[in-house]
Amino acid sequence: MKLDWNLALKRLVGALVWGLALAIGAWSISVSTGILGGFLGGFAGFLSGPLLARTRLRTPTILIGGSLLGGVGLWLAGLPTRSRILAGLFGPELAYGLADGTTWFLGGLVLVGCLHAATVRHASFMAVELALVCLALITPLSAHRDGFISRPHFFVDPLWSQGWDPVPFLMAAGALTAATLLVLSVGRFNRRNTLIDLGLLLMLAFLVTVLLPLNRLQQLAPEQKPMGQNGQQEQEGKPPPPMEQDPNGKEKPRQKPPEPEDKGEQGQPKPVALVLFHDDFTPTDGFYYFRQKTMSMFNGARLVPDTTGLADRDVPSRFPAAGPEAQPGGVGIVPEPTDSSLTRTVRTTVNLIIAHPLPIGLINPTRMEASGNPDPYHFVRAYKVESAAFIGDLSSLMGRRAGNPLWSRQVWSHYTRTPEDPRYRRLANEIVGRLQEQYREDPLAQAVMVKLWLETEGTYSLSQRILDSDDAVARFLFGDKVGYCVHFAHAATHLVRSLGIPARVATGYAADARYRFEGSALLLQDANSHAWCEIYLEGVGWVPLDVSPQRTDARPPPPPDADLQRMLGQLARKEAPSQEGRPQAKRDLNALARKALAVLARGAGILLVLGILAAGVGKVVRRLGPYVGPESTRTLRTFRAALDCLADVGVLRPFGDTRERFARDQGNRFEALAPLTEFRMREALGDPRNPSPPEARELLEHYRNLARQIRRSTPFWRRLLGLLNPFSWLFVR
């Protein structure tokens, strides 16, 4: 039996693809013996599939029996690690390697062998086979999604060490995966079906890339939603710890934040922004607060953002613009007057990784202006912020008056208005009554006492509902006191306002200062989203009053990935190509594919029009053949025009039929076709009995007779469609 080298080569390539797929899949979760076992199992399984398919076993028997045998094999493969005798005989390291390698080999052999046998018998199983190959190839690289550009380390670290962005290489890996799938699918069936399958697979892959919302490539995390009372996004971890000293003057040991877990409440937190510090600054309470939005106006039922334009003028309501739209001093911020001995200017650059509805900035911002985007692929927008940061300690704020003496009576009323419920004032007086006599009139001491009371009496829990009703704060404060940061922030604001202290609720991000890792970059994650109360003290401005309950059932958010923070910091320090205040679109695969699709669509449209015109011109030229052209080819042109007329009405010579047989078969309907065929065959093959060509008049007479016969035997609509079809002559044989 002659060896089919073409088929053997295709099977060898498919076996290599499966072996490499399982080896790559085992790369990040197994040892070297497991990688080798996966390669050998996939290779041997692919080659054994056709042999298994030629047996008399039915396909369900192969799949079910393979699953059972695979389970038994995997159990036997794990014996070296479960048996003390074998583990003692081989040693722990060799026993584990042997068990892992055998597991991958047997698993790959059974899985690939049975699946490929089913594919050989039934083409529909090829989709399952391709999906498993794709899964095995992309799993080791999946750690890179959701903005973690520092992972997987085995792939990314060598690239970053050379100063290369890993994203193009990951895209190349995706293209290689697609090419691998194509290679695996080639040659399974006959050539015609193979070409059709390849075309459909390419089209499907392209359309999926272009049309589906694959926003993991377009942006690194979902768009952040502002927080508030109605449906707000909340912090996934525990709020920051309280201050280090109570208002009675006694030292209180600082609460150390719990050690971070590997994952937050909703899985691995996603990066949302990177902040570059241009001035070395560490807050005294150990947490950076990046404010985005405030709620200071009490509308009779709840706190909402200010709509009067008289308050919260230190909070920017839009992003800074650049170019002709830029304003002097950046976005319009009216900073609060501060004491230079208690505050200092801290300059930062905020690089947004995901789109935000409002800008964020380190409290209290005094200036915000546009900055060039250093890397539009990884950041959607960048801007500079200058903040008046508090640099003193808690004792330096004692004795400071609440509020700003320059405020109007309307502004004072705005920041101190509370619900009419008398329980707020009564509870606030009760809490303040526990202070020592010398601190009872001090605004800071009163506010901190409220904070400490809430921390002692409340319980932090993410299982509570949002503030979805007008009396939600009252139900929380005068009920079980179980809630999350929004509940505590609103409760603290109402209580301190009851004492005449200007206060508001702020939302944004709260990040542990330790997680700067002694560098200038700080990565903010969605798990850092937070809400807190702010009070106003003269000479300092707005001071965070963050309630951190002692009891909690929530896990703290994990720290940001140090490698990811360092790499994003390096990207953010690059010189920006231009000063753009608007968000810059990321150069993502989706956008490039859509542009390519638009160009291809325009090109295809132009080519289609040109093709139709060319086909129409060709049809007209061929139809004029009996009347125009040299005498030597008149018979050929007339015969070709006759066949074109028949093609217009759907009459074509079948494959395998001779011209003479075709003319005899159509003789009942089209009698004039037989003499035209005879003239053409006589000219092509030669006839010693009739060496002279037919007369032009005779050819035209038979051609016109054929046209009349077509009109008599074919409906008008069918002849009209054929006449308008510019491609009908292309199918003439």
Q: What is the pLDDT of residue 412?
A: 93
Q: What is the pLDDT of residues 419-431, one digit of tens each?
A: 999 999 999 999 9
Same domain, 212 and 80: yes
Helix extents (H) in 122-190: 125-138, 153-161, 166-185
Same domain, 520 and 664: no
Same domain, 201 and 313: no
The answer as to whether 530 is a domain residue is yes
Q: What pLDDT band is residue 327 in, cutting at 50, 70 and 90?
A: low
Prior bond of 299 cis (ω within 30°): no
504, 296 Cβ separation under 8 angstroms: yes
Q: What is the pLDDT of residue 359?
A: 93
Same domain, 375 and 485: yes
Q: What is the pLDDT of residue 454?
A: 94
Nearest partner of 542 among 577, 501, 570, 513, judged by Cα: 501
Using DSSP's 3-state secondary structure scheme, residue 631 falls into helix
Same domain, 89 and 156: yes
Say how far apart CA 422 and CA 88 lie, in whole Å: 76
Nearest partner of 338 among 346, 330, 327, judged by Cα: 346
Nearest partner of 722 among 672, 651, 659, 655, judged by Cα: 651
Q: What is the pLDDT of residue 305?
A: 93
The answer as to whether 240 is a domain residue is no
Using DSSP's 3-state secondary structure scheme, residue 352 falls into strand
Once rounded to an integer, what is the mean pLDDT over residues 675-693?
Answer: 77
| pTM of this structure | 0.56
Say how far apart CA 451 and CA 511 lie, in whole Å: 19
What is the tally of structural domains in the chain?
Answer: 3
Task: Count Cβ atoms below 10 Å from residue 402 Cβ, excluding itself.
Answer: 22
The answer as to whether 224 is a domain residue is no
Q: What angle do CA 704, 708, 714 make, to 5 degrees?
A: 140
Same domain, 333 and 447: yes
The answer as to whether 322 is a domain residue is yes
Same domain, 209 and 333: no
Same domain, 631 and 551: no
Q: What is the pLDDT of residue 418?
A: 92
Element housing 695 (H / E): none
- Could you tell me the residue range of the domain that residue 82 belongs to? 5-218
Residue at which a domain ends, from 572, 598, 622 = 572
Same domain, 193 and 275: no
DSSP code, position 19: H
Nearest partner of 230 among 582, 495, 507, judged by Cα: 507
Instruction: Please tell me which residue, 172 or 459, carries the higher pLDDT value.
Output: 459
Same domain, 424 and 565: yes
pLDDT higher than threshold 90 for residue 691: no
Q: What is the pLDDT of residue 252?
A: 41
* Residue with token string 């710890």: 241
Residue at which a domain ends, from 174, 203, 218 = 218
The answer as to whether 485 is a domain residue is yes
Same domain, 564 and 656: no
Residue at which a domain ends, from 541, 572, 603 = 572
The answer as to whether 580 is a domain residue is no
Q: What is the pLDDT of residues 267-324, one digit of tens each?
A: 578 899 999 999 989 898 889 999 999 999 998 888 999 998 888 999 998 888 765 5
Same domain, 206 and 302: no
